[in-house]
Amino acid sequence: MTTTETPLLPRFQQDPRSQQLLTVLLGDYWFAREDPIPSSALVELLSVFDVTPRAARAAIQRLAQRGFLRSEKNGRRTAYAVSPKSREQIEGHVRALFPPRVPAAWDGTWTLVAYSLPHEAREARRMLREQLRLRNFGNLYDALWIRPGDQTEQLMEMGRELDAIHPDQVTVFTGAQLPASMSARAVRAAFGLDDVAEAYRAFVSRWRLTAERVRELASGDPSGEDALRTRTSIMTDWRALRRRDPHLPRELLGEKFPAHEARDVCASVYDDLGPRAESVVRRILAPHDGDLAERVSHHTFAASDSLLGDA
């Protein structure tokens, strides 16, 4: 079978950006590894996705310039490893990518953030709002942001990054209760839940057929490269979706929120194709460094609870 005859992935998913593609591949098959991989092996790995050698080398260099990768030279050979700081970031991403089937309990309390900045402090206001969004706070009113649970640690980290804002300009309430008169609709609007739900439904629609046929299609793929492409494509799609999700307690989502169905569809494709995709990565690395090839691994939704403990 070839990708042309029976495409495993939607056509518009076949050309992800090279830098993002490489970060997904390293997260999937080189998680928590410190060993550097020869640049020639990374270039060959990206070629499975029709990335040209020139574009692959440019992507590797840009990731090194950004600090995601660090380079090591051994004679004429250059190898790249995921930097320690990047490994910490990847662990945080993994927690978001593999949500548990049974979410943690919520005590019903909220963290509220209110701020008062002068009108001319537009840039400081923009930075503050952006940092709150990154930490999955919802904008209830113009200068009032909310998030379930105690978010003290996240806000302390945010404060260290926002030197332009004086502590007196921001007020934080923890252990707060929202007024009983506050409607569920207002909370949904604060977090954009209707748009997030629609994105989950679109994901299910896009990948359901692949999930239903994944074992049949994978068995007809002698090279395994379709399995690698498809598994990487669905994880790229899933990563983008999970970034949009504010990760709220089930009590605020309702039983019909489509995140659980989307998770099951993603897990079906991702988990079933894991061994086949891993074998492709091993095969590509083996001629460059046999020892490295033996260290390639893959993870699954089914075993995600132990993933970070093993890192």
pLDDT in tens, 222-265: 678 999 999 999 999 999 999 999 999 988 998 899 999 999 99
Q: What percent of the chain has pLDDT over 90?
A: 65
Residue 16 pLDDT exceeds 60: no
What gap in Å lies between CA 40 and CA 9, rounded to an integer?
Answer: 26
263's CB contacts (< 8 A; 6+ apart) are 99, 101, 301
**Amino acid letter for position 255:** E
Pairing of strands 144-148, 138-141: antiparallel
What was the pLDDT predicted at 5? 37
Range with lowest mean pLDDT among 7-21, 105-119, 210-224, 278-292: 7-21
What was the pLDDT predicted at 109? 96
Range with lowest mean pLDDT among 180-189, 196-205, 255-264, 292-301: 180-189
Six-digit token string for 294: 């033996």
What was the pLDDT predicted at 145? 96
What was the pLDDT predicted at 69? 95
For residues 173 and 182, the answer to whether their CB atoms sit within 8 Å is: no
Beta bridge partners of 114: 144, 171
Domain residues of the chain, as ranges? Answer: 110-176
Six-digit token string for 44: 């060959």
272-to-101, 133, 298, 302 alpha-carbon distances in Å: 18, 34, 11, 10
> What is the average pLDDT value for the chain, to the nearest integer?
88
Q: Global pTM?
A: 0.85
Look up the CATH architecture of domain 110-176. Answer: 2-Layer Sandwich (3.30)
Backbone angles phi, psi at 118, to 5 degrees: -60, 155
